[in-house]
Chain A
Amino acid sequence: MKEKHPIDSFFKEKLANQQYPMKEEYWSAAADLIEAHGGRKRKRFLWLFLLIGLLITGSTIGYNFSTNSEEELLALRELTSTTEYKTDEYVPTLAGVELEKGGIAVKEVESKPFLSTENSPESRLKMLGNASPLANADIQAEREVEEKRSADQEKINPEYANRVLDALGLEKPALEDQKVDRGVGQRTKEKEQVIDYKARVLDERAFELEEQKQSNPSFHYPGRASRRKHQFGLDVGYAVNKGIKDPTSSGQSLGMSPVIGISYRQRFNANLEFISGLRYTQMPSLAGDSTFTSTDFSFGAQVEGINIKALSLHQAEIPVQLAWYVSPRSKIIGGVYFRYLINVQSEVSQFESNPFESTPGPINRAWGYKQGFSDLDYGLQLGYFYHLSEGLQIGLETQFGLKDIRDNAFYRINSFDRNLNARIILRYHFLN
């Protein structure tokens, strides 16, 4: 080992014995520093909470603003468009108001080259649909609503008539004048007028979007949930579960259980998306039970035992799914799920018995008797979801387990205990 230099050794030795008195002010300064550091930490969390709150609030407000209903859009257009034009296409007669060919003054948006007044509403809707899935989906939905409403109307509905007049910007006649029976042809024309008007409004919006799309190839159509690439959502639902089959009892029952969690989806293209998430769920109404006994043979056999019946399995679930859009609003899903057993709620009862009598003991509910159940479960799932609105979906899922939930060796049975359930899910996308 290299010998230390005498200067080094000398200074090291001298300084090693150096003592410094501790003053109270030193500790006060240290305490202040610790306090300030703790305060900064708390403040950092406060900012984090505030940021999350702002994000949620902002996204909610943004979502609401970006999802104006068609009626709101129409109302907006009514207020902002003042250009008048004459049409010679329709000669509708409505509620006693004769509208002469070539003489109708209708408030309308400014005509765009994209529009074609020569086509029928149906063909124009098709054209719009090809140009913009956004317009197509909305018009399709509106058409369904209008058709249903129209089919229910045997007589003139004043509300409906007013809507048509509002849409056309015509003066409303007196209420008694509206009681006019009309033929099927007239009603169809009126319906077409409404659709036509709305189509033109949406047409203009679609035109704007098309212009943006052409100027910017990476532009995504706004407005529809299905157009967004990444989304987070809240899943809430209820499941009907098949209970575990137990060969020693009649126990096989259906049980209800909640499903709650968060979901994430990523859109790959117009038709395909990936969905995953984390959910909490239960598997209730388990028919099986297990008995643990000890026998005393001292004088007359006496059996003391404890009977444990699992009531519900509490599980965390991760779905991994792919969804395929079969229409702009509906999709079918398929994939796998993984479940982890968090805990088991059981009914625990004690008993004593001898050759002469059997004495039941107290019955309690208890947690933690996970023995005999698989920690991990996995299986397949299929489902169907429908977009009620941009942010809200409703769906039906069913799951088929591929693994026995119970350990047959532990329960000394040979049964086919697989998860099987159907659930209805509401999914709300709150964060994009």
Chain B
Amino acid sequence: MNPDPKLLKACKRGDRRAQEQLYRMCFPALMGICMRYFRNESEAITALNESFLKILNNYHKRSTSTPFLAWIRRIAINTAIDKFRQEKSYKTHIQAGYEYGLDEQKEAAFQINEAELRLDAEAIEKMIQELPPMSKQVFNLFAIDGYSHQEIGDLLGISAGTSKWHVSFARKELKQKLIREGLIIQKADML
């Protein structure tokens, strides 16, 4: 996805039609991110629109070496993280992580039963939404969006070790959910 420069110029001039065209173009990528980071559609749309406004206002600052899609994804993620950090319960989320302890347990080997896998994307998304907020954000950043633990630590104001713990915790929780659904087979010999 790389929008026509003429379209971007028209957007900058304030041409509403061009802006709408760009909005429709960016919507799938932005919405996918926002829905993962927020609890409901309303919050996701608010964050999406704020991200789009940033895209409109800052397009000229974008490095030409950065692909457009990667750039708008990063804007959406940063917007989501900013909003998450603004939440009153943010500190609570951080502290809550320590209550679980940072000892990463060795996970048992398992195999996903692809044959039995009939869950749709909505159900998968729901599983992630049910994670504790901080674990959800860290898992999203690490597993889906490809951030390193150090980057996550910088973004969320936690240590890289805490980030690792949240990822581990999220994996364990998600695995339990998948087991409950009968979607993964625990390898008994490796327990």
Contacts and interface: CB of A to CB of B under 8 A. Distances in A.
A27 B53 CA distance: 12
A26 B27 contact: yes
Interface in A35-83: 37-38
Interface stretch (A3-11, A159-167, A177-185, A256-264): A3-11
Interface string A1-44: 00001111011101111111010001101110110011000000
B156 interface: no
A31 B122 CA distance: 28
A7 B143 contact: yes
Contacts of B178: 7
Contacts of B28: 19-20, 22
A26 B19 contact: no
B52 interface: yes
Contact of B121 (A8, A18, A22, A27): A18
Given A15-B36, A38-B14, A29 B49 contact: yes
B49 A20 contact: no
Interface string A364-386: 00000000000000000000000
Contact of B171 (A5, A16, A19): A5
A38 B119 CA distance: 44
B23 A27 contact: yes
A391 to B, nearest CB: 43
A30 B31 CA distance: 13
B24 A22 contact: yes
A34 B49 CA distance: 9
Contacts of B52: 30
A155 to B, nearest CB: 77
Interface string B111-132: 1100000010110110110000
A8 B143 contact: yes
Interface residues of B, number: 39
- Contact-size category for A: 20 to 34
Nearest to A5: B171
Contact of A30 (B23, B112, B139): B23
Interface string B20-53: 1001100110011001100000000110111011
Contacts of A30: 19, 23, 48-49, 52-53
A37 B49 CA distance: 12
Contacts, number: 82
B102 interface: no
A11 B174 contact: yes
A15 B19 contact: no
B27 A7 contact: no
A33 B16 CA distance: 12
B27 A6 contact: no
Contacts of A17: 121
A224 B173 CA distance: 78
A15 B27 contact: no
Interface string B158-191: 0000000000000100110010000000000000
Contact of B27 (A5, A22, A29): A22
B144 interface: yes
A10 B122 CA distance: 14
Contacts of B71: none
Given A14-B124, A15-B121, A8 B171 contact: yes
B142 interface: yes
Nearest to A35: B16
B110 interface: yes
A18 B127 CA distance: 14
B8 interface: no
A27 B28 CA distance: 13
A282 B119 CA distance: 79
Contact of A6 (B57, B112, B121, B124): B112
Contacts of A16: 32
A31 B19 contact: yes
A30 to B, nearest CB: 4
Interface string B130-151: 0000000001001110000000
Interface in B73-118: 110-112
B56 interface: yes
Nearest to A29: B49
Interface of A: 5-8, 10-12, 14-20, 22, 26-27, 29-31, 33-34, 37-38
9 contacts: A8-B143, A8-B171, A12-B144, A18-B121, A18-B122, A27-B23, A29-B49, A31-B19, A37-B57
Given A15-B121, A34-B56, 18 more contacts: A5-B171, A7-B178, A8-B143, A8-B171, A11-B124, A15-B125, A15-B128, A15-B144, A17-B121, A18-B35, A18-B124, A26-B23, A26-B49, A27-B20, A29-B45, A30-B23, A30-B49, A38-B14
Q: What 3 A-B pairs come out closest when comparing CB atoms?
A: A8-B143, A18-B121, A20-B31
